[in-house]
Chains A and B, each alone.
Chain A
């Protein structure tokens, strides 16, 4: 597929649509959008950046770019790092959607918020904290405050309610999507102009699902209705420690498997191993020996259960039940190392800090050396320990700290497993090492039937889609239907 590098005439056309203050080909401005971190390590500088405000402007931009065959990549918060940037040359147009930052409606009766794509976690959290403190938005726990609620959900992320309520993509109820063909499509019940956004499958069959996880390759979402949730004041964090990932997996499953009651109160269930603590500091400025972390109260592995409840009794009951499950598990044959199953008593300040949303907890992994990469996989819950052991071994074999974060989705139906690869991005050989790790682990994972969460276009997507030929064939047809000239985020996924 060949694309046109936009020229002055194209810039003029863009200026004609959004005005001269909101379209530029200034090379310094274009370069500032680049990111080669967090997720995608490869990305390109765009040729033009546009900051539209209205769907109609985006519609005109897409129609023009489609005619001219200019690539378009949408960025809402840009916190998926390199994944939001253009991937091919010419970089084409980047749509910086940060001006589309209106919180249009918070409807507590129907538990819906209607927002534009540029609404950040920090912004929505502060707004609801002020105006509707009894409700909160389902924001990701660890994503920085500048990422967007919409971006996280369309990316199928992990939020503060995912362990209890299900995948983050499920929080969408309806969306307004600008399609490169020149239409504005309404999904969910919004397909019917008179309907409120109360039913996500709309008038059926559901077109929305084709946009989930599309990483900007189908169209541009300009407005969404998302679920909001009660924000009770009774909250705590219960932590159980253990020595190995199997015990972490199996104890947690006991609780998730209850499905009702306490399983629902555990809104966020996430854990990992002690290098998660260690690698948030510079490599040469902290002890590497586990004994140090043991002394300051960390088990080798642990699981955090963040509990939200309407009443104090409910909260205490949930904590008591989690503890009972842990004790029972300790005595069971399934437990590999009963002596290591220990409740970690948290100081109230530690609890308060863990309850903070949004937070900056995942940012300092760049501090260990100079950069990091999240590589995320979905596995059935009962496979997550195997995933962790396999991955950590490969990391250690390559001289990289074995940092593993694992969380439950929908009461241990699935696991989201995320090794954090802390490497030195100033060194080319480290980049190569990371890709080598990626290849080895992807091969293993695909054989085991695990799914990559945000597939990169070099290793994950080709290896995964090559096993799913018919699916890919139809996906391409769907793409062609929305985007006949393949201008949307070319190269991302395995789509042209």
Chain B
């Protein structure tokens, strides 16, 4: 409740205007890609996966903000009803970027969840389970602690395990360690090929992201402290997971109330900069020739960094009328980074979906929703794949193993016929780096 109290003034800026119900809520006449499967991808499009799924006001962001306000004013008490409403938010942040009053919706939801849990309302069963697993095994999947880096041996990457003298570490994360091993392997191989001297830190633990999101901030802080201790000796930490990257870069400094002792970078940023500087060139692969790819901006690397940058500009500004303009310049460069890589791939055609950049529609996996509400989560992913179908995509690219997992599952379940790849994974699989 303390964190919520701190945000009271920001919460009370919400006027229940519901602009956050729309993506591109300030762009009513935006040109788009037309109508597909009953959705008009033009102008403003409904924004919130949870509102779309359930319909009641409480499942749209505006309703959740007023639930928070009712709690603060004593008009409503924490209960399982409240928990079930606020938990079905993917914390994607789409609502936050639409808000002209800059209400920090995701932080409010997360604080509300924590307050709900600490008020004595139990977590839902599935969240209880992952919490138990992470405490016992350092990962929410229940994988054996000692087998976190098993994939290293199978792929001849042992030399990187706790490599001495390396100034760069690659934080692999739980999803790439136990589920999307393809992403971890592809990332290491590309780093190796590019001559990056890096270490895999065998004692790494879950970054804590799911637990920051679902309100178990006690668990997430323990995990954070362990990781900070382990990684503090490196100059830079690299990531292949959008969620881990966001958690280290955005959440950790907020909780420790100071800057991180190392730099953080996602692999795609690194590769993008190298492509831009001409240090990496790609070659064509006949199997990909003429294929249409599209790109899904993960909320955690896209929108959440946008929101964080905006917040920093606001905090530092003395005259926001001028300073907020800086955000646009930053935004253009930031969202272009993965696109620089994709545009440099010869032979493939790149078609953008309608909702991109900070307006990207979520894959449905975040905020504890994939674990807690798998049907809703996969349906949301399927809506995203519909959008990819609308632009004729043969493949979907992204740079988050968690998005990957959900999108790929939905692709299979709903027969979209659009395989999903991580950008680095595609580069590795089709051997696209020119010698």
Interface residues of A (CB under 8 A from B): 24, 26-29, 31-35, 37-38, 45, 49, 51, 77-79, 81, 96, 98-99, 122-123, 125-127, 129-130, 144-147, 280-282, 285-287, 296, 356-360, 363-364, 366-367, 369-372, 424-426
Inter-chain contacts of A282 with B (CB < 8 A): 314, 320
22 contacts between A and B (CB under 8 A): A26-B85, A28-B67, A31-B58, A31-B70, A32-B56, A32-B66, A34-B69, A78-B16, A122-B43, A125-B44, A144-B18, A144-B25, A145-B44, A285-B320, A287-B319, A356-B27, A360-B25, A366-B13, A370-B9, A370-B10, A370-B12, A425-B12
Q: Does B56 contact A129, Cβ atoms closer than 8 Å?
A: no
Cα distance, A13 to B101, chains bound together (Å): 40
3 smallest beta-carbon distances between A and B, as pairs? A32-B63, A126-B43, A32-B58
Return the chain B residue nearest A27 by Cβ: B81
Cα distance, A469 to B308, chains bound together (Å): 57
Inter-chain contacts of A49 with B (CB < 8 A): 56-57
Q: Does A129 contact B43, Cβ atoms closer than 8 Å?
A: yes
Q: Does B319 contact A81, Cβ atoms closer than 8 Å?
A: no
Known: A45-B75, A360-B26. A126 touches B319 (CB 8 A): no
Near A by CB (< 8 A), chain B positions 123-157 give none
Closest-CB distance, B71 to chain A (whole angstroms):
8
- Give 10 new A-B contacts, CB below 8 A, not counting A32-B58, A32-B62: A26-B81, A27-B76, A28-B84, A29-B56, A96-B57, A145-B28, A359-B28, A363-B99, A369-B9, A370-B10
Q: Which of A28, A146, A282 has the most CB of B within 10 A?
A: A28
Q: Does B42 contact A363, Cβ atoms closer than 8 Å?
A: no
Closest-CB distance, B17 to chain A (whole angstroms):
4
Q: Does B42 contact A45, Cβ atoms closer than 8 Å?
A: no
Q: Does A367 contact B56, Cβ atoms closer than 8 Å?
A: no
Cα distance, A425 to B16, chains bound together (Å): 13
Q: Does A367 contact B100, Cβ atoms closer than 8 Å?
A: yes
Q: Does A126 contact B40, Cβ atoms closer than 8 Å?
A: yes
Cα distance, A107 to B318, chains bound together (Å): 52
Cα distance, A33 to B67, chains bound together (Å): 9
Known: A122-B44, A125-B43. A286 touches B321 (CB 8 A): yes
Return the chain B residue nearest A278 by Cβ: B321
Q: Does A356 contact B79, Cβ atoms closer than 8 Å?
A: no
Return the chain A residue nearest B101 by Cβ: A366
- Chain B 205-232 interface 0/1 with A at a Cβ cutoff of 8 Å (1 = within): 0000000000000000000000000000
| Cβ contact of A364, chosen from B35, B67, B101, cutoff 8 A | B101
Taking the complex as formed, is B102 at the interface, i.e. its CB lies under 8 A from any CB of chain A? yes
- Chain B 54-82 interface 0/1 with A at a Cβ cutoff of 8 Å (1 = within): 01111000111011011000011001011
Closest-CB distance, B18 to chain A (whole angstroms):
4
Inter-chain contacts of B99 with A (CB < 8 A): 363
Q: Does A28 contact B58, Cβ atoms closer than 8 Å?
A: yes
Return the chain A residue nearest B70 by Cβ: A31
Inter-chain contacts of A367 with B (CB < 8 A): 13, 100-102
Q: Does B18 contact A78, Cβ atoms closer than 8 Å?
A: yes
Inter-chain contacts of B70 with A (CB < 8 A): 31, 34, 45
Inter-chain contacts of A28 with B (CB < 8 A): 58, 67, 76, 79, 81-82, 84-86
Q: Does A363 contact B101, Cβ atoms closer than 8 Å?
A: yes
Inter-chain contacts of A147 with B (CB < 8 A): 18
Taking the complex as formed, is B415 at the interface, i.e. its CB lies under 8 A from any CB of chain A? no
Q: Does A31 contact B25, Cβ atoms closer than 8 Å?
A: no
- Chain B 3-43 interface 0/1 with A at a Cβ cutoff of 8 Å (1 = within): 00000111011111111011001111100000100001011
Q: Does B55 contact A286, Cβ atoms closer than 8 Å?
A: no
Inter-chain contacts of B86 with A (CB < 8 A): 28
Taking the complex as formed, is B328 at the interface, i.e. its CB lies under 8 A from any CB of chain A? no
Cα distance, A358 to B70, chains bound together (Å): 30
Taking the complex as formed, is B412 at the interface, i.e. its CB lies under 8 A from any CB of chain A? no
| Cβ contact of B18, chosen from A51, A79, A99, cutoff 8 A | A79
Q: Does B66 contact A34, Cβ atoms closer than 8 Å?
A: yes
Cα distance, A22 to B10, chains bound together (Å): 32
Inter-chain contacts of A37 with B (CB < 8 A): 14-16
Q: Does B318 contact A38, Cβ atoms closer than 8 Å?
A: no
Inter-chain contacts of B19 with A (CB < 8 A): 144-146, 360, 363
Q: Does A371 contact B75, Cβ atoms closer than 8 Å?
A: no
Q: Does A33 contact B57, Cβ atoms closer than 8 Å?
A: yes
Taking the complex as formed, is B351 at the interface, i.e. its CB lies under 8 A from any CB of chain A? no
Cα distance, A45 to B81, chains bound together (Å): 15
Cα distance, A79 to B62, chains bound together (Å): 11
Inter-chain contacts of B119 with A (CB < 8 A): none
Taking the complex as formed, is B285 at the interface, i.e. its CB lies under 8 A from any CB of chain A? no
Inter-chain contacts of A129 with B (CB < 8 A): 28-29, 42-43
Cα distance, A152 to B101, chains bound together (Å): 22
Q: Does A31 contact B101, Cβ atoms closer than 8 Å?
A: no
Closest-CB distance, B9 to chain A (whole angstroms):
5
Cα distance, A125 to B27, chains bound together (Å): 11
Q: Does B67 contact A360, Cβ atoms closer than 8 Å?
A: no
Known: A122-B25, A360-B100, A367-B101. A27 touches B79 (CB 8 A): yes
Return the chain B residue nearest A425 by Cβ: B12
Cα distance, A122 to B84, chains bound together (Å): 29
Inter-chain contacts of A26 with B (CB < 8 A): 58, 81, 85
| Cβ contact of B29, chosen from A32, A296, A356, cutoff 8 A | A356
Q: Does B40 contact A130, Cβ atoms closer than 8 Å?
A: yes
Inter-chain contacts of A357 with B (CB < 8 A): 28
Q: Does A24 contact B56, Cβ atoms closer than 8 Å?
A: yes
Q: Does A356 contact B26, Cβ atoms closer than 8 Å?
A: yes
Closest-CB distance, B96 to chain A (whole angstroms):
14
Q: Does A145 contact B16, Cβ atoms closer than 8 Å?
A: no
Q: Does A32 contact B64, Cβ atoms closer than 8 Å?
A: yes
Q: Which of A26, A146, A426 has the most CB of B within 10 A?
A: A146
Q: Does A77 contact B18, Cβ atoms closer than 8 Å?
A: yes
Q: Does B13 contact A370, Cβ atoms closer than 8 Å?
A: yes
Inter-chain contacts of A123 with B (CB < 8 A): 44
Closest-CB distance, B73 to chain A (whole angstroms):
9
Inter-chain contacts of A33 with B (CB < 8 A): 57, 63, 66
Cα distance, A364 to B101, chains bound together (Å): 5
Q: Which of A33, A34, A123, A371 has the most CB of B within 10 A?
A: A34
Cα distance, A126 to B23, chains bound together (Å): 13
Q: Does A31 contact B76, Cβ atoms closer than 8 Å?
A: yes
Q: Which of A27, A77, A296 has the most CB of B within 10 A?
A: A27
Inter-chain contacts of A29 with B (CB < 8 A): 56-58, 63, 81, 85
Q: Does B26 contact A359, Cβ atoms closer than 8 Å?
A: yes
